[in-house]
Structure formats: C-alpha cells, structure tokens
Amino acid sequence: MANVVVVGAQWGDEGKGKLVDWLSERADVIVRFQGGHNAGHTLVIDGTVFKLSLLPSGIVRPGKLSVIGNGVVLDPWALLAEIERLQGQGVAVSPENLLIAENTPLILPLHGELDRAREAQNSVAKIGTTGRGIGPAYEDKVGRRVIRVADLADAATLDQRIARLLTHHNALRAGLGLSPVDVAALKGALMAVAPRILPFARPVWRVLNAERRAGRRILFEGAQGALLDVDFGTYPFVTSSNTMAGMAAAGSGLGPTAVDFVLGIVKAYTTRVGEGPFPTELDDADGQRLGERGREFGTVTGRKRRCGWFDAVLVRQTCAQSGVSGIALTKLDVLDGFETLKICTGYELDGETLDYLPTAANLQARVRPVYETLPGWQGSTAGARSWADLPAEAIKYVRRVEELIRCPVALLSTSPERDDTILVTDPYAD
C-alpha cells in the first residue's frame, strides 16, 4: 500500500493541514517527523475548526493511529494543553490512538527562556523565532545533553541528564544575565509531568515497521516549509530542523524505501513569516490584497505574513530537493479577480540571470525577480471540485506553474473546506 510524505514547498503556511486531513482519512497511521509547537495546522471539518501544533492531523479522525516521531522536539506541557483543548472539542486522545517515540527530545522551560533572551539581545539580525525553545532544544540534542521522553521513567537517569544539561545552560544564562536554573524545581516539574506523558511512549520505529509489514497506509506529516530547512533554506533565517521529505525516514525510524509518494504543498502565491530574504515580496496594494483575501496570519503566533507573487524558481528548487512526486496547489481562489498575475521565472543578479536561489546570504538579499505576466480571471474558483468549474485563465495559470516548476499538480485546493479539492493524481494509488 502507498505511503505518502507531505511537505511544504515554500516558507510554510501553504495549507498542509487541510490536505493532510484530506489524506489522513484514507491513511491508517499519521506521523509527525520534525519540528515542534512552533508549527500550526488549522483544520476545518464540518464547520468545526481545530488548531493543532504538535498533534498529527489524523488525531481528529476516529480509528487512526497518530505518532509523534523522534525527529520532533516535544514540549510536554504544550502537548498536554493541546490534548485537553481537543478533548474539550470532543476529540478522543489516549495511548490507543497517540504514540510518542521514546527517544523524542523534550523542550523545557529553560529552552524557551534562552530562545527569547537571545532574540531580545540580537541587535545585528533577528532570526524571527517564535520564542518557544525549538532551536535551543535541537542544539541540546546534537550536543548530546538533551532530556528525552524515556529519561522520565527513571529518577537517577534524570538526575544525570539534568546535571549535564545545566552545566551548559547555566553558563549561557550567566552570559545573558539570567539567573541559574532551580534544579529541584525543574526535576519536580518533570517528575510531575512524567506519569501523564509516559503512557504514550513507545519504540515508534518498531511500531511503524510492524504497521508497514501489515500493509497499513502511513502518512508522514511535515511541519513548516522547505525554505526553512536548516541546510537548504534561507539560512540563518530558518528553523532548526530538516524540513525536506528525506527527514521523514530519520525522524521516524522507518527507512526511506518505505516512501512511495512525496506530495509538496504549494500556495498559488508566496508568503513568509518573520525575517529573511523574500525576492517576490509585495509592499503595494496587490500584496495587501493577497494578505487580506488569504487571511494571512500565523496559526500559532498570529503574526501577519509577508505576501508576494508566486516564485517558480524557489518551488522548482524545493521540489527537486525533496524529490516531490506531485504538488497540491492551494489557495487558488485568493487570486480570483486580479486583472493580471505575475510569476517569478528567474532572478537578476549583477546583470546575470539565475535559475536558482544562491546559497550566500548577501547574494540572496540582492537578487531581483524576473517576472512573466499572465492574464487573471474574473470568474470564481472558490469551491471548485472539477476542472470544468474553473475559468479558462485559471487553468492556464495552473498549467504554467506545472511547466515552470517541472512537477505536475496532483491536487488542487480551492477553499479551506476539505472537500473543495480537485484530485488529478491519487497519491494513494497502488
């Protein structure tokens, strides 16, 4: 049976939540494999809005197994608050339908404090983090001092982990003018939360391999977007994890041969939250119109998103890096009513035309978009569920996007409602 990886192919906020929900109804297991509670997915099901940050989108679907993989950094208190909020909306969450990898790193209060203190004192160039401790937790993971879910089960091990962790963090805190961490308070908080987290803990790699052998369909749900990848994104204005499709294997313990289809989620225009280069950004009435019509505010932070024309150069690049099989093009309806539309087909840099975004930060900041202008359409695409429902110029726009990014459209989303979707290629086709 087909196993599908879903990744955002821009700077995030592409509408992954709706598409993952649409796909999760047909999957058996849904896996989060990277990121933390800095990412947000909004699902609209039968008029009810669900806002998720840590929990896989499949959690709102009865009979599905949701998994938080080891590639995620987990704030246990944020997770419990999210579970309680969903339970208040009538969603059942228990160890029967939610598993957490035993080797998942934990985000602690000290991580958020460090994150915010650094951002406040960074007068050279702010990264634009959410301040939730994601980056510092990943730093501790690669520094081999992080506390993991399994450590909560043994007080003696926890003492050793805390001691190693605070040797590093108290030195950092002193340099930032923060007081040392209260060891007893930290351990007490962890011991208090342990009985509520440990029932969900499992060797997830083993569970997933068994599910695959049994022929279950597995859906891997990425967070953020490919252009925020710590290696391939617009560094240093990136997240602290790998957001490409390849991370699905490392972040879950299920090998890369398990993946049958990579679906890249792509918005019909471009948005970005936070700092960093954005070649097609619009500071005019068109940019304002895109933001208002697209309701471009972050699910988690509420921050206003920067808006611009579709950048085919960047999407072609991220599709190649993630091995995207097909894209899901979202928010086409936001473009309804524009007389003309623009697509970035290349960049101009010092008199030279580039067909990719250079790696060096100074060059990224200096590139200028080369645009192709297309006619807009006056009809509505909102709620369309077949090609026949689309204006001719909208179809031409979609086909031109396919040509420029060298990747076919597998699905087309025309509203936040899950059923307002045109299926071109079924990712779950055997």
How high is the pLDDT of residue 420?
86
Catalytic-residue membership of 41: yes
Residue 277: the pLDDT is 95
Q: Which of 13, 21, 140, 311 is catalytic?
A: 13
Name the E strands within 214-300.
218-221, 261-267, 270-272
CA dist 366 and 363 (Å) reads 5
Does the pLDDT of residue 397 top 90, yes or no?
A: yes
Identity (one letter) of the amino acid at 239?
T
Over the stretch 224-267, which tens digit does the pLDDT of each residue have? 899 999 999 999 999 999 999 999 999 999 999 999 999 999 99
Q: Is the pLDDT of residue 207 over 60?
A: yes
The arithmetic mean of pLDDT across residues 370-378, rounded, is 97
Q: What would the two tokens of residue 125 be?
A: 């160039």
User: Residue 2's pLDDT is what?
Assistant: 87
At residue 86, does pLDDT exceed 60? yes
Q: Is the pLDDT of residue 126 over 70?
A: no
**DSSP bridge partners of 240:** none
Rounded Cα distance, 163 and 183, in Å: 8
Contact (CB, 8 A) for 5 and 259: yes
Residue 203 pLDDT > 90, yes or no? yes
Confidence band for 124, pLDDT divided at 50, 70 and 90: low
Q: What's this model's pTM, rounded to 2 decimal places?
A: 0.92
H or E element in which residue 366 lies: helix 361-366
Q: What is the pLDDT of residues 20-56, one digit of tens each?
A: 888 888 999 999 999 998 777 777 777 788 888 899 9
| Residue 13 known to be catalytic | yes
How much of the chain exceeds pLDDT 90, in percent?
Answer: 77
Specify which of 130-139, 340-349, 408-417 reaches the highest per-range mean pLDDT. Answer: 340-349
Residues with Cβ within 8 Å of 256's Cβ and at least 6 positions away in sequence, in order, are 246, 248, 249
Catalytic residue among 37, 41, 111, 169: 41
Residue 425 has pLDDT above 90, yes or no: no
Rounded to the nearest integer, the mean pLDDT of the chain is 92
